[in-house]
Amino acid sequence: MGILSELKPERVMYYFEEISKIPHGSSDTKAISDYLLNVAKSLGLQASQDEMNNVIIRKAGQGCTENAPVTMLQGHMDMVCEKESWSKIDFKSDSLELMIEDGFITANGTTLGGDDGIAVAYALAILESKSIIHPPLEAVFTVDEEIGMLGATNLDKSSLKSRYMLNIDSEDEGVLLAGCAGGMIATVKLPIRREERKTDNPLLKLSISNLKGGHSGIEINKGRANAIVLMGDMLKRIKESVPYDLISIDGGAKVNVISRECSALICVRDESDYELLHKVLKNAQNDYRNEYKEADDAIEVTIKKAAEDEFDNIDITKFFSNSEMENIIKLLLRLPNGIQKMCKEPKGVVQTSLNLGIISTSETEVKLEYCVRSSLNQEKEELYQDMIQIADKSGATTEKRGEYPAWEYKNDSTLRSIMTSAFEEQYGYKAKVEVIHAGVECGIFADAIDNLDVISFGPDIKDIHTPRERLDIASVQRTWEYILRVLEGIAKSN
């Protein structure tokens, strides 16, 4: 028996646990895609899989009116694969180690994949049921949502007949999302010229770690630090006091995650400067903890002799030229990061932001990857053009990919009326209807399908995209009951 076998709703928990056994990180979705096809086949349902591994499963209505509108159940298969430094898990081959703690489902030292495995589990439980009342269904499972919504963007939507779309990819029970920001991934590439230097001094690994991180859209307004941006400041501070050479700088794991860790390989030119170096680091750590004391107060700045396996595939006899080191520091400090503008209405909502999620070094270039978001497409493009101008001054190039449109709020939404009524009937109070500063696939579908009426919602999931991610068990049950109530309401409508 599985660890979730005693939990309700039973079939939802069964499928969630089955999914957790299958590697399904972004760009690694073939196995879970095939699993979904096999489930559809076992249920005798029509299903298709495209070249990207997107899957569509169709099911006729049950207990519905003759003209009940076709309704889409939609979520994504891929998960963000983040883990603690001590975790030995291989996301390419290992199952997640699920645990139950204080009313939550978690994974031992890793992200859980509740975002968005719970949507897949809900949909499969509905598709297999012969008693749930529901309209004709199109269950659409997309891939690579976490790296730019690539699956939804490239899915052939011409065969979809849905009038309503239930996107189960939100993390706050009681909140119905009715609009979101558009976005893109912007990549800045700085060519580097290396110079050969001979020194007997050891390579040192400079690290900034123990940050909280988090979702670069939903949690961008929480004032958390970005490890990569701090590293730019750290390298500048050291340069002002201690001569050193830079070999590489690498940090972050996902472009849509606020980076929790960043490291640089450096070589101090004079060993007599080590004491001063440690003083600079200690002062910086104190400054960072003080600056972020309300949101990220445990930041660690450390340095140690680099282990040999920490510079595999790097020619350690060749360092950045002085000009290239200056350029990368300038880029890290001058390129914008974080919130750029807040909405006038609704108040308290981020309108435009960007997040430096990944930095990586090769022999010939340093690459910075940003997630850019805005509820105004024009403002998103203007921010990208600003990045181009700043990057160009340092000799860097900029390109974008994975661009997706904003999902605009509908003033007149029949689906929203059905869902708000169903919510009040079940919970006894009104649901919150919000527009958020995070990318969901709704805008891509709404842009492609005329008059598609869309709402995004889901159970409570805490600290998504981090190893602290946890799924509220009671909330999963309540949201399941709510989904069934909504489906019945749609099934009996015309």
Q: What is the pTM of this model?
A: 0.70
C-alpha 223/C-alpha 316 separation (Å) is 37
Which pLDDT band, with edges at 50, 70 and 90, does 114 fall under? very high
Which pLDDT band, with edges at 50, 70 and 90, does 218 fall under? confident
pLDDT tens-digit readout, 433-474: 988 887 789 999 998 999 999 999 999 999 998 999 999 999
For residue 415, what are the contacts with CB-CB under 8 A and spacing of at least 6? 164, 165, 453, 454, 455, 490
What amino acid is encoded at 61 in this protein? Answer: G
Q: Which residue has the higher pLDDT, 469 or 313?
A: 469
CB 263 within 8 A of CB 206: yes
**What average pLDDT does range 96-103 have in this prediction?**
98
pLDDT tens-digit readout, 248-260: 999 998 898 999 9
Q: How does the average pLDDT of the chain come out, rounded?
A: 94
Sheet holding 164-167, edge to edge: 46-49, 55-59, 137-142, 71-76, 164-167, 453-456, 175-180, 432-436
What amino acid is encoded at 389 in this protein? Answer: Q
Nearest CA to 248 among 235, 257, 239? 235
**What average pLDDT does range 83-108 have in this prediction?**
97
**What average pLDDT does range 276-305 have in this prediction?**
96
For residue 311, the model assigns a pLDDT of 65
The phi, psi pair for 84, rounded to 5°, reads -70, 155
pLDDT tens-digit readout, 220-247: 999 999 999 999 999 999 999 999 999 9
DSSP 149: S
For residue 317, the model assigns a pLDDT of 79
Structural domains for the chain: 10-181+406-491 (3.40.630.10), 184-402 (3.30.70.360)
Output the six-digit token pair for 443: 């805008």
Output the six-digit token pair for 293: 């004391």
Scanning 148-269, the segments in alpha helix (DSSP H) are 150-154, 227-241
DSSP 52: T
Q: Assess whether pLDDT exceeds 80 at residue 135.
A: yes
pLDDT tens-digit readout, 14-69: 999 999 999 999 999 999 999 999 999 999 999 999 999 999 999 999 999 989 99
